[in-house]
Chain A
Amino acid sequence: MKAVRLIALSLVLALMIFPLLWMFRVSLMPPGAGLSLEELISPALSLLPYQDILTSGKMALFFFNSLLVGVVVTVANILFCFLSGYAFARHPFPGRRFWFYSVLFVLMIPSHIVIVPLYIMLHKLGMYDTYWALILPFAVNPIGIFLVRQYLETLPTSMEEAARIDGASELQIIFKVVMPLCKPALAVLAIQVFLTNWNSFLFPLIFTSSESVRTLPVALALYQGHQAIDWSHLMAGSSLAVIPVLAVFLVFQRQIVSGITAGAVRQ
């Protein structure tokens, strides 16, 4: 019985990772090679596709754009979601309940509804086709605020009170006492925000038009629109989009899982 289960699980595993293995294999094809089975299992490897897209192509720029936007958005979210989440958890300010409901509201509404108005707004604000369009609307993510607030609710306030009695200022308390305590929640938040942003497609597609601010997924999707597809180059570019995700996954698996399940097992 156990053997049957293992075989079944292994078959599913093969099915799940075959497409990604195929991608990596094709990205390492020597120039001129086809995609037939003999060529795929042949040991001939070449890094030329990567060299091509990074030197003569603009893939390096697109990779840089994705990385820049991803890092800035992630850092902004760490700071802003932390401050807002802290305010919701610890400060009884008027309208707190209302603003917290606004967080839950945005968590639930489908984002397609803001595509057209945001596109018009970004044009009017002069931010269309700039990095700002890729950063500002995404700098404070409701899921991040939610994570920080939930985490702080489980944390006793004794440390903060002790610091207050010792004469620490509010700023010192926020950044020197509470923020370090929130590290686990902020790690979950950072990884989730970065991965979502890194893979994001629809918004970067419609908020930019020129190559100078194009992100990697958009570049890959548009590359495919050109004449005959050169699969080994396209898959080399695709691998560039996947490798950072796999690296983050290998290092931060625990945080990714707890970010995903945070919402589900709330009840």
Chain B
Amino acid sequence: MKRQILAGNFLASPWIVTFLAFWLFPLFYSFFLGFTDFRLMRPDYNWVGWENYINLFRDKAFIEALINTFIFVIGTIPFTTVIALILALLVEKKIPGQALFRSGYFVPSITSMVVIALVFTNLYSRDGYLFLLAKMLGMHPPENGFLLSSKTALLSIMAMDIWMSVGYYMLIFLAGLKAIPEELYEAASVAGASGRQKFLHITLPLLNPVTVFVIVINSIKSFQVFTEIYVMTKGKYGTSSAVYFIYESGLNRFEFGYASAAAYLLFVIIAIFSILQLGLMQRKHY
């Protein structure tokens, strides 16, 4: 028995070491740093209490980044979720080319975000195809392309993100749809239910846990939006996000204390948001 105990600890040690060194310690370290004025190239640093946090709320750049992040999360998730669900319902039924449609929709989401962002940087630019398309449709896109205007830059990045991730969530919805027992639909048909009724009273309620899962993981991911902003606008034209702000202050200006405080604030916001989502959405049904 003793040997088994030793063996268990030994076998799990890669994780235990990784957790302690690369997760738990950094979590505490970062929490501590948030209360100091630690910067690069400074051997001594001072305990500053809540000063970093207070300054963050007075920092226009941070507030703007935070607002943009909320716009990004709240503006993309409903669209992504609804479109993903519609696509899942459309490709679920037997249809010629079913596998091709599924794969084609899914492929953008496993492609490198850097590559996608580069491609769209061109498509959104003044001589890019999306710009030309908008003109052809009689819209008046900003003169220098979608990304070089604070009116459209953030919205354009959001649209790209929706485009990229719908296929991923479609797959999750498909798995959820498959788990709904066929007998329920058959029984409903026998009872004379319409397609709409079946959708509202069988599909949606039974899919609820999957929908909650999709919304929660998508929120956690979207709150951390960074790569597309780094590649497409470098945070200019009103596109800076919370993680972009942390990157700028922590790793460009090396204000480690300040950046850590910002990171913790975002952490708390994400935690509250996730708990609220889980609570609200689980109460809605039954």
Contacts and interface: CB of A to CB of B under 8 A. Distances in A.
22 contacts: A5-B90, A16-B163, A35-B122, A84-B15, A87-B7, A91-B8, A110-B220, A110-B267, A112-B246, A113-B26, A113-B263, A114-B26, A114-B30, A115-B259, A116-B260, A136-B22, A145-B15, A217-B113, A220-B118, A260-B172, A264-B214, A265-B176
B28 to A, nearest CB: 9
A263 interface: yes
A26 B121 CA distance: 14
Interface string A105-128: 010111111111111110000000
Interface in B107-138: 107-108, 110-123, 127, 129
B118 to A, nearest CB: 6
Contacts of A260: 168, 171-172
Interface of A: 2, 5-6, 8-9, 12-13, 15-17, 19-20, 22-23, 26, 35, 80-81, 83-84, 86-88, 91-96, 99, 102-103, 106, 108-121, 136-137, 139-140, 142, 145, 170, 174, 195, 198-199, 201-202, 205-206, 216-218, 220-221, 224, 231, 234-235, 238, 241-242, 245-246, 249, 253, 256-257, 260-261, 263-265, 267
B43 interface: no
Interface of B: 4-9, 11-12, 14-16, 18-19, 22-27, 29-30, 33, 87, 90-91, 95-97, 100-101, 103-105, 107-108, 110-123, 127, 129, 163, 167-168, 171-172, 174-176, 179, 209-210, 213-214, 217, 220, 223-224, 226-227, 230-231, 242-243, 246-247, 250-251, 256, 259-260, 263-264, 266-267, 270, 274
Nearest to A122: B22
Contact of A116 (B19, B111, B117, B251): B251
Given A91-B11, A108-B274, A217-B114, 11 more contacts: A9-B91, A9-B101, A16-B105, A91-B4, A94-B9, A115-B251, A117-B29, A238-B115, A242-B112, A249-B110, A257-B175
A112 B250 CA distance: 11
Contacts, number: 256
B230 A221 contact: yes
A92 B11 contact: no
A206 B227 CA distance: 12
A90 to B, nearest CB: 8
A199 B22 contact: no
A221 B25 CA distance: 31
A199 B112 contact: yes
Contacts of B242: 112
Residues of A contacting B: mostly: helix
